[in-house]
Amino acid sequence: MASDSGTPQPADAGSPAAGAGPLAGLNPSQRALLRIACWVAWSDGDVAEEERDLLEKVVAATLPGGTPLVDTADAVRALVGEHLQQVDPALLVAELDGPEARLQAVKLAVQMMGSSSLPGDGTPINPAEKVAYRRLLEVLALPEAEVEEAEWAARQELQKPRSLLDLITHTLGGFGAWPSLEGSELPLGYWL
């Protein structure tokens, strides 16, 4: 979506990711965090399968409990369908509520960058995603010490032998309820 100046704009209230479907119950800050994760995933021109898996888990952890898995998949399709790589990250960051959400954006972006890289990449982080991440950091304008701490925490979470759902739920703590067990392939004891 472009403004009169030609600058891409985030989805408006009538778009699937902003006001309709399963993401409709989220507040603007929650939607912005999901869209930032998707923006990082799209930064290299492709949303890899690992990135889609991570987005599904982030969405499932963010949506209210009892949301059917079909709605989660629809929400991810809507996010990916926005082709957010053309959106100015300043517009997404402007929707975040407070410094804690900004730090969560850092953690989520680091986790998204670590989820996959293109074949032939010589580094574990895709170069295009690294450039997007740097742009995000510029817009977030957080103190360097806080960014380093958030990056360290994200890397520690990535190194822990926990499930990805646990990792994302911890990162987004307080932004949603546990996913429903209905339709889940996870054993009941998993949540205990």
Please give the Cα distance from 42 to 14 (Å, whole number): 22
Burial of 109 (0-12, 13-18, 19+ CB in 10 A): buried
Residue 38 has pLDDT above 70, yes or no: yes
**159: which residues sit within 8 A by CB, 6+ positions away?**
none
Please give the Cα distance from 90 to 95 (Å, whole number): 9
Mean pLDDT of 98-104: 92
pLDDT digits (tens, 9 = 90+) for 158-186: 676 656 665 565 566 545 454 544 555 65
pLDDT digits (tens, 9 = 90+) for 4-31: 444 334 444 334 344 457 777 788 999 8
pTM of the predicted structure, to 2 decimals: 0.69
